[in-house]
Amino acid sequence: MLDVIKKRRSIRDYNDQEISKSDLVTLCEAGLMAPSARNQNSKAFIIIEDKNLLKQLSKISPGARVLEKANKAIAVICPDVKGLLTENMVLEDLGAACENVLLEATNLNIGSCWIGIAPNEERMTLGKKILNLNDNEFLFALISLGYPIDDSAFYFKDKIKKELIRFM
């Protein structure tokens, strides 16, 4: 597992290879397996295949431009934010779900990049409109997906600084 964690990178350049529907479903399954506060049902995933939608979403923010080149994307949402047991932990729940998707993508040699949406109101409003979400649905993030141009896109970037880890 640490091998996959170490080689996960934000990958923003993709080739034309199609990601299969079954791999896309596997990525969402990984997201659904993430922990959540009081095991609440806080997450759902929208697989975005439509190129026109990807183009519209790429305009949400400067950081979303990667979607112009993406093969597919996944929107990470909360399906019913008002119905949650612990609403104030929804960001943590959805962040954990995103990371699971990124790690499974790396495991399948699919390049991925987290595109931040929440808590930026402007991005959330724009994204919700493009994806036609209802009032109860909360758009947390988009994940851009595609096979990298070459496998060197997955590499170990050393972020491990001993002083950031302490025992007490």
Ligand X SMILES: Cc1cc2nc3c(=O)[nH]c(=O)nc-3n(C[C@H](O)[C@H](O)[C@H](O)COP(=O)(O)O)c2cc1C
Contact stretch for ligand X (CB under 6 A) within 40-48, 57-65, 77-85, 146-154: 57-65
State in angstroms the smallest separation of the CB of 39 from ligand X.
23
Sort 36 into a burial class: Cβ within 10 Å, 0-12 / 13-18 / 19+.
buried
Residues 102-161 that bind ligand X (CB under 6 A): 113-116, 157
Helix axes 21-32, 90-107, angle to 10 degrees: 140
Contact segment (CB under 6 A) with ligand X among 5-13, 33-41, 82-90, 127-135 equals 5-13
Bridge partners, 46 (sequence order): 75
Least Å distance between CB 159 and ligand X? 7
Q: How far is the CB of 79 from ligand X (least distance, A)?
A: 20
**CB distance 72 to 146 below 8 Å:** yes
Query: In this structure, what token pair is assigned to residue 138?
Result: 């909360």
10 touching ligand X, by CB under 6 A: yes
Name the segment binding ligand X (CB under 6 A); options: 21-29, 36-44, 60-68, 74-82: 60-68
- Where do runs of H (alpha helix) occur along the chain? 2-7, 21-32, 51-57, 90-107, 121-130
63 binds ligand X (CB under 6 A): yes
Task: Check if the beta carbon of residue 74 is closer than 8 Å to that of residue 47.
Answer: yes
Strand, helix or coil for residue 34: coil
We find the least distance from the C-beta atom of residue 24 to ligand X, in angstroms, to be 20
Binding site for ligand X (CB under 6 A): 9-10, 12, 61, 63-64, 66, 113-116, 157
